[in-house]
Structure 1
Amino acid sequence: MQATRRIAMAATTAVASIGALLAVGSPAQAATITKFCNAPYSPVPGCFYSTGDIFTVQDLRADGKRGVLIWMLDGGRHGECHDANGANNPPTKCDVDLPEGELVTFWTVIRDGADGPESWESEPMVAWTSGR
């Protein structure tokens, strides 16, 4: 009987603790997401910050090529952000003016020169320009 009571008390305490954590964690989960990035292990990390409409791209390979972030809106508008300042330097920032509430798709590539061939391409990322 005593063991059953202890188990019931432990289970009740665990459920109450989890409930308290979820209640405290709810406001943070409801926060607006404003940073969207591709995989952290990418040789060309790229991010979109919906607050300010800023793209960043960073070249992590010392191969004489550049890292390029390519972005495209649903309506067809598109652009590129180039990191041509050498490998392992701080990310290049590109500030653009995008309409709010739009879907933006972006990906990064390794490119030989401004318009040369691409030797690697990341998976595409999808974000919202309004930060939702």
Structure 2
Amino acid sequence: MSSPTVISEFKDFILKGNAISLAVGVIIGAAFGKIVEAITKGIIEPMINLAGGNPEVSLKLWVFDLGMVINAILALLITGAVLFFVFVRPMNRLLKKEEAAPAAPPEPSAEEKLLTEIRDLLAKN
């Protein structure tokens, strides 16, 4: 009886799909968090400062920082595309190949063999 190697155990762990899905979810979640932060700092905070007054004395005009928001959205889209084409798509193809290989039918038990012989004998008579 041989013990499975570390590489084969790691391959089995990765091919379950849960690890890849979790990693992709964490990365996409972090990128989405940056979008929320950019919207908050670039759009919502300036609106609040305009309505409530800015406690800081500044000569800057009130503007929305749409560049920060657009940058965060583009970063999310690029990150998502890279994750999809580098990890998710090859993983799905690999899993489909493994599913496509048909499993050999199980060997009939001794009872099934005996019943098959009896059926064949009865069919001859």
Q: TM-score, normalised by structure 2?
A: 0.29
Higher RCO structure (Cα 8 Å, ≥6 apart): 2
- Whose strand fraction is larger, Structure 1's or Structure 2's? 1
Q: Which structure has the bigger radius of gyration?
A: 2
